[in-house]
Structure formats: structure tokens, C-alpha cells
Amino acid sequence: MSDKHKKESAQPELPIEGTTPATAETKPANGNGTAHVLAEEVPALIAHHPFVPGKIELALHRRVNTSFLEYASYVIRDRAIPHLADGVKPVQRRILWALHEKDDGRFIKVANITGHTMQYHPHGNASIDDAIVVLVNKRYLIEGQGNYGNIYTGDPAAAPRYIECRLTELARTELFNDSITEFMASYDGRNQEPVTLPCKLPLTLMLGTEGIAVGLATRILPHNFPELLEAQIAILKKQPFKCLPDFPTGGLMDARDYQDGKGTVKVRAKIKLKDEQTIAIKEIPPTTTTESLMASIEDAVRKGKLKVKSINDFTSEDVEIEIKCPAGVDAEKLVDALYAFTDCEVNITSRIIVIRDNRPVELTVSEVLRANTDQLVVILKRELELKLKQLEDELHFRTLERIFIEERIYKKIEQCKTNEAVIAAVYEGFKPFAKQLVRAIADTDVERLLQVRIRRISLFDINKHREEMDKVKADLAETQKNLKNLTRYAIGHLEALLEKYGPLYPRLTTKSARHEEVDVKAVAFKSFKVAYDRETGYVGYKVSGEEFKLECTKFDKLLLVFKDGTYKVSELPEKLFVGPELFYCGLPEREKVFTCAYTDRNASYLKRFTFGGTILNKAYSCIPEKSRILFFAPETPKILYVRYKPAPHQKISQQTCDPNQIEVKGAKTRGRQISIKDISSVTAEPTRGWDDKAVTTPIVFV
């Protein structure tokens, strides 16, 4: 138990609301350790703290609120959100530090690294194992040996006892420097772990990460390593730059809405046409696997959004999903449908939240990269200053050693009988050579000189020693020069990294200016066959009827017109009861012209109209009340044949008319009068009972 936990456990229970601490301490405690409140004291407590409706404030509530805030702060800062300084979460930092401590250049079992990391990580081994697998699959910092799963298929990694890992050369040289690392105590106080690693890489954007904390989430997309280095060089040269994501699974990316890390990117699978009936998916979008991608395709087929004859996964080292098109389906149209209805196209939102100055902040890609570049310059400066001090110390001691041996100062201590006399003799011997020294001689220098072995004195090579000193002086001059030109030195450092590692990490995701927008309605397949069964009164694509057979897509809607002149537009139904009075069923088209003849008690009328826009499932009427439809057609016939009911003294029993003479108006238009006679039928073709020899005159519309 830590000191903090001991102090908390040693503290007495909080006094009950309304009592003083002294009173609370003198009351006897019950079995749970809480103080009793005597019955006679209740009125006094109520008087001291009157009841306020809606406000309950007890010691337990205060404790819960405080504990929740502490927990939320812990999850945000020490668990789920990466740090801006080194771009990793705490568990990843502890893994890298454990690998650094165990690093001998050879592969180490993951189970051993997990065990060593648990000295620093207060949680279980499962989170450590998973984090190691993730870091290995990101390729930059840890290289693995064994089965680490497959990022394309989603296959899991082997057990930690069967796989091995070690730091990459990039991680060894750019992530660690014990001399400038700030340490803190581990969770149990037994070990020291780094607060952050002295990282010289833009790891925040290189690795990318996702994290969900309490009321806070981050999603940082991975970027291309060489491009990040080029951007850092541009920052140091004060030139414009732009960085876009790069995903390990490849794909085609439209990043016009990326907004420097505060927007979204659209990523598509890379699909190739093998022949007229076969397409192959060669790269998949991030957040998907071949298994999930195939599942989304199969789901779209089940829902009737697209048609596929067969789908096979031949993925091994590279993605290869082969899809066969059914007869009559164009492969190019199927590609568009895959982008529209499956996970072959995904939208990924970026939100860069990192820990800076011990609190979460939201930044852009440019801000993160500038902060990483500033940190790179600071670390390089500290390393150069450290190297400068080491070179000065080395030059100082080599000078002391040369003078000590060449001038035989060691001879002066042969007659000394005490340690003080020996030290004094050495100081006295160096006085004539003070101007040759880098700095004044100190007691530590004397102690080191006195430890020089006789063999070293006897085999001392003056020429070799001078060559070594010249090399140290040259290194010292170079270091001083780099410190004076720190920006140029940082640019050179980045250019060296770019030259060495640029070819190893090519861009995997292809950048495109924009994707062609896919109209989902245009590429949808007509997989639903709608029918109407007048006997049962049902209409839909799961109805086996003989009337109004239509081939529809998932996005189509139905226009239903009834004998009383009412009509409505509804979603594509599986099985909808409409009754036996359905007069017309079709696809609604705003500009499509319909022809309708109807009659009321006084006369009959003919009109041409368009339905126009409608509200879904709202009932409308295309004829006046107390009227009935005589004829209805979704086009304009060339001729209509009108037959009248027999009546006394009626000379004309049938007529024809040309509906094209009537102008097109809205659905509520009254239309042109046909006749005041009672009409028995209006048809587009002569029907049984039509007398070709009878007197037939065309109707003239007024």
C-alpha cells in the first residue's frame, strides 16, 4: 500500500452532516464504523440544516463526487489518451521502457516483456499483450517474430509465450536517452519509470490511436512517416506544408474534408475489373477486415441493395476478394453499388486530443507537428550540451593524463607518506601547466590520476595519445558549431532519417483529389418485385399477386391510387393491406402526366395532370368529393372511347375524344367537361359493345 493509501485509510470517517468533528469523534460507532445519531439530537440537526427540496448533500455524496472526478482524471491522463511529448499511451510507454531495459539486440519472448512491464503497469497482462501486438503491427518501434495476426483478415495473434519481439533500430536511436529522461515512482513505489520518453519522432501522428475516456474520446489517424519528416523540415525552414493520413491497409483516400485533422476522410477499397463478370478487391479501407467487408456485402445482397453471384476470399499476404457478377449485371455498376451500400467505402472522423501540461487539449495536425518539431530541437540541444560536457571532461582528463605521465609528476609522490601529502604533491606538480588545462584541477581529477596503473604509464604512447586528443578536439569543435547552428543541425538530423528510412515506409493509401459521388438510387439494383392481390387486399414485394407487377429498388416508393380518387405515396412495403379498391399502383414521378376521367352527379370530366410533390403516407384526392373514377391511365392515350348509358330520346350513344387537346395541370384541377349524360364506360380501346356503324362524333371541349 502506498503512503497516500495509508493516509487515506488512517483518516477517520467523515462526521455526519450537522455534527461537529469533536461531537462525531465522541459518539460510539456501529459495526460499519459509522457514528450513531441519537434520537434526541435529530431536531437539533434539522434546525441547523433545514431541508431544501431537490438538494441532498451527504458525506457519502461528496465522497462519490470526489472519487468520480479522480477516476475520470486518471482514465483521461494515465490510461486512454496519448501524451503529446512522446505520442504514446502509458501502457505503450511502459512496454517500450521494459524493452529498453531488457534490450540486448536479440528477440525476447512477449510473455517475458509482459511480466517485466507489469512492474510498472497496475493493470492486467491482457492489456499489455494486446498493446504489444498493436505496436508490432504498426512496424515502427517494435519488430516481431512469430504469428502476430493479420491486419487484413482480423486473425488474432498467437499466445504471448509463442511470439517474440525487440526494439527496432529506429526506436533505439530516437526514443531513449537515460541521461535526459525525467523519472517518477511506479504505482507501488518500488521502481522508477519515465514520465515521458525523450522522443525525437512525431509519434503522435506516426502511430495514430483511438482512446475512450470518461466523457472524452480521441481518434488520431496514422500518417506517413517520410511525409511527416518532410513536413518537419518545412517547419524548420519556415515553408508551407500539408500532411494527410496513410493507413496500413491501403485504399483510396479522399481527404478534401480533413481540415487539418478536425474533419473527416473518405476511404475506398481498391477494386479492379478482372473481366466483364469478375471484380477483385485488392485493398480494403481502415476499420474493416476482409471478413467484415464480406459480411457487409452479404448483408447488402440479403437486403436487395445489390446482386452478386458468388464471393470468395483468397487473401494471404495480400488482399484478394473475388466477386462474380450474375448474368445481366454490369461489373462497373456493381463496383458503384459496392461503394454505395457496403463497407467498401467508409468515412473516418479525426479528433486529435492529447495530454499536454497534464491536461487534455484538442489540436490540429499542424499544431501537433509544430510542437513535436520544437521538442525535437530542445532534445537535440540537450543532447549536444550533454555531449559537449562529456567531450570537455574527456579532453580535460586526457590533458591531465598526458602531463602527469610526460612530466613525471607521479615521481613526486614517491616520497610522500600521507594521503594529504600525495594530493598536495599532485596539485603542486600541475601548477606550471595550469594554462594548458581546460579547467582547474579538482579533487576528483586527482583521485582519477592516482588510479592510473603502472602498465598504462609504462606503455604510454605519446603519438597515439595526441591523435586521440585531436579527435576529441575535432568532435568538441563540431559540437560547439552544431549548438550555434541548432536549426541547421536539426534539419540535417531529419534529412538523415529521411534518407535512411524513407524507402522503408512508402505511402500505402493512394491520395485522390476527390471521389466521384455515387448516387445510391442510381446504382441500386431492382431486386424487389411488387405485386397486388385483390382478393386479400395486400400489396408489397412479399405478396404473390397478379396485378401491378413492378420491379423496384430498396429506395423506391409506391404511388397508390384508389377508386374513390384518393392517393398517397408510401415506402416500399413487404406486405401492406390496402383493401380491394386499389385502382393504380406505380412508381411516383413528379413530372409524369396522368389521364383521368371521372363523374359526379351532374356531369363527367376529363383532365391531364401531374401529381407533383407529396408528403409520405399523407392521403390526397385527385377528384372532387362524391365523385368516382371512370378512367385512369399513367399516360395520354391517342383516343378515348366514351359510351353513354341508354336513355329516352338519346340519339348519340357513343363518342370519341382526343385527350391531347387538354392542357396539363395539377392533381386538383377540375378538368374539361365531357358530357352531362350518364357515362357507362371510358376506355382507350374499343370494347365489346362498341358499334362501329353507329353515329360517332368527336367531343369538342369548351
Which residues are catalytic, by number? 162
CB count in 10 Å sphere of residue 245 = 23
Q: Is 700 helix (H, G, I), strand (E, B) or coil?
A: coil
Residue 612 φ/ψ region, left for φ over 0, alpha for ψ in the -120 to 50 degree band, beta for the rest:
left
The helix/strand/coil state of 194 is strand
Distances (CA, A) of 510 to 248, 250, 256, 695: 11, 7, 13, 77
Distances (CA, A) of 61 to 15, 17, 170, 220, 336: 13, 11, 50, 36, 57
Spatial separation of the C-alpha atoms in residues 158 and 298, rounded to whole Å: 29
Burial of 525 (0-12, 13-18, 19+ CB in 10 A): buried
What proportions of the chain, in percent to the nearest 5, are helix, strand and coil?
Answer: 40, 20, 40
The full length of the chain comes to: 702
Residue identified by cell 424487389 is 528
CA distance 524 to 340: 8
Structure letter (DSSP) for residue 564: T
| Cα–Cα distance measured from residue 637 to residue 22, given in angstroms and rounded to the nearest whole number | 101
**Cα 347 to the chain's mean position, in Å?**
9
Burial class (CB in 10 A: 0-12, 13-18, 19+), 231: buried
Listed residue (302, 295, 305) closest to 343, CA to CA: 295
C-alpha closest to that of 405 among 462, 345, 360: 462
- Phi and psi at 492, nearest 5°, equal -60, -40
3-state SS assignment for residue 96: helix
What are the φ/ψ torsions at residue 226 (nearest 5 degrees)?
-60, -35
